[in-house]
Amino acid sequence: MNAATKIRPARMSDVKPIHGLLQQFANKGLLLGRSISSLYDQLRDFVVYDDGGVQGVCSLHICWDNLAEIRSLAVAEGCQQRGIGRELVNSCLDEAKLLEISRVFTLTYQGGFFRKLGFVPIEKSELPHKIWSDCIQCPKFPDCDEEALIWTND
């Protein structure tokens, strides 16, 4: 069974496992942590890789007219290098296509990974100011050291 067949929309019972997985990476400074409350609020944004429990997670957050963000991509350390991250992102990009969203960006420390999926660099200044409302919550604001990349479905 390939990774894509174990990807499904997140459920209420997934919130605490998602939180735990994201916190592992947030504690290492590799992504922005999410509160339990925000996970409940945005549960519909998330897909999970379920292999006897949540082993991977990713979200597609709609930001603006024809623009969404890939957020909170994390794969459990014991499950990395199996294509799970790629399938999680592809699932989110497929949803973006269904929603007729043709531009999806990410802010990441893993630029090489996203480039392999067709994302290209973009200046952060090209992203709408609405996006920065989340950035203000980040402890690294205003000195963000993440790379901005964008995928387009033209």
- Which CATH number does the domain housing residue 92 bear? 3.40.630.30
Q: Which helix (H) or strand (E) holds 60?
A: strand 54-64
In which order are the strands placed within the sheet that holds 54-64?
7-9, 46-50, 54-64, 67-75, 103-108, 147-152, 120-121
Q: Give me the number of domains the chain comprises.
A: 1
Over residues 107-118, the pLDDT tens digits come to: 998 999 999 999
d(CA 80, CA 122): 27
What was the pLDDT predicted at 124? 79
Q: What is the pTM of this model?
A: 0.89
Give me the domain span that covers residue 80.
3-152
For the ranges 27-36, 64-73, 90-99, the maximum mean pLDDT occurs at: 90-99
Average pLDDT over residues 2-12: 87
